[in-house]
Structure 1
Amino acid sequence: MAHTNRLAGMVERINQLPAFARPQALSLFFGKAVPFTGTAGIRIESLNQSHCEIRLANRRRVQNHIKGVHAVASLLLAESATGFLVGLNVPDDKIPVIKTVHAEYTRRAKGDMRVVAHLTDDQRQRMVTDDRGEVAVALTFYDSEDREPIEAQMTWAWTPKRRD
């Protein structure tokens, strides 16, 4: 899949660092590129063009009234994981945008939150070859007990960048 994507190039360079340094470097990079992720304290555990795993510590700044990770903070986690993946695959001449978010809170989450998201090879190929389109990115939420407290779907679209 040869296409120009500066973001993928940067992530590829970061992924050449020793394993212990990658999460910190990825988190700092995306915290500067997408400031709200840094403000919330999202930590990127692993990221490549088909897989993303990120987490959010259950700290006061992201808590709700019952001391769990706030619903909107958990959605930020899901939107970030899926958005990072789409951003790594959409060529530089296209722009990714979130289209729909659907979430069902099925049980009370305990402790920190983690999201794992995936793209298939077919989904990745369509982002490169199709001028515009949309993709539902597979994702799973986990709490600190490895239970799945939220079922969510994130659909992303991409369109050609406007030439101003």
Structure 2
Amino acid sequence: MPKHNRLSLAAHLIQRLPRRLHEPLLSRLFCSQVRFAGTANVRIQKLSIDEVRMSLANQRRVRNHIGGVHAAAMALLAESASGCMVGMNLPDHKLPLIKTLKVDYRRRANGGLRAIATLTQEQRRAMLEQEKGEALIEVTMLDDTGSEPIRCEMHWAWVSKHQ
């Protein structure tokens, strides 16, 4: 767990509770800070320094005109997962900033979506050691059939909050 990181501490404490409470409490924690994710009903299945897993059900509030998850909701899920991955690893005295959000829509999504974000050891080390830096966060997006309807690149940066 990174030093002085309130998000990773909160996730660690929640994960000490019974397993059935993990998803609702992690999701409530995240959505209380990222209100748009709360509006879309983004859910967190896993929140650790190694991996973030989130999901978005194909519900009426996020559907497009053809019955699938709206393109903007897909991008929200990818940005949320990558942002949490950065947030779990960045010390609190550093500020995460999204620089580039690139989403390639490859095919229509079937059902809901799952996002899996990860970091390399080098990226994690840079976030801990460098006052200022950048990282391209890998996010895999899968629909209910296990297909990858979109490919995304989330380019994050960080700076010291006390500049």
| Alignment TM-score > 0.5, same fold | yes
Partner of 1:152: 152
Partner of 1:95: 95
Structure 2 gaps, min length 5: none
Alignment partner of 1:43 is 2:34: no
Q: Is the 8 A contact 2:2 2:90 kept in 1?
A: no
The alpha-carbon deviation at position 2 of structure 1 amounts to: 5.1
The alpha-carbon deviation at position 162 of structure 1 amounts to: 3.3
Distance change (3 Å), C-alpha of 1:92 and 1:40: same
Instruction: Give the percent of matched residue pairs that are identical in Structure 1 and Structure 2.
Output: 45
- SS in structure 2 opposite 1:65? coil
Structure 1 gaps, min length 5: none
The alpha-carbon deviation at position 84 of structure 1 amounts to: 0.5
What are the Cα deviations for residues 19-51 of structure 1, in whole angstroms up to 9, with x where unaligned? 221011100111112111111100101110120
Instruction: Tell me the distance in 1 between the aligned counterparts of 2:92 and 2:151.
Output: 31
What are the Cα deviations for residues 71-110 of structure 1, in whole angstroms up to 9, with x where unaligned? 0000000000000110111111110010101111111110
> For 1:27-106, what aligned pairs fall within 5 Å after superposition?
27-106=27-106
Partner of 1:123: 123
Matched residues, number: 163
Instruction: Tell me the distance in 2 between the aligned counterparts of 1:48 and 1:39.
Output: 23
Distance change (3 Å), C-alpha of 1:129 and 1:40: same
The alpha-carbon deviation at position 126 of structure 1 amounts to: 0.5
- SS in structure 2 opposite 1:123? helix
Partner of 1:23: 23
Question: Which letter does structure 1 place at the counterpart of 2:51?
Answer: H
Q: Is the 8 A contact 1:141 1:149 kept in 2?
A: yes
Say what the alpha-carbon RMSD is for the aligned residues: 1.1
- SS in structure 2 opposite 1:45? strand
- SS in structure 2 opposite 1:158? strand
Instruction: Tell me the distance in 1 between the aligned counterparts of 2:2 and 2:85.
Output: 16
- TM-score if structure 2 supplies the norm length? 0.96
Question: Which letter does structure 2 place at the counterpart of 1:76?
Answer: L
Q: Is the 8 A contact 1:50 1:121 kept in 2?
A: no
- SS in structure 1 opposite 2:77? helix
Q: Is the 8 A contact 1:31 1:37 kept in 2?
A: yes
The list of structure 1 runs, each at least 4 consecutive aligned residues, that deviate by more than 2 angstroms after superposition, is none
Question: Which letter does structure 2 place at the counterpart of 1:96?
Answer: P
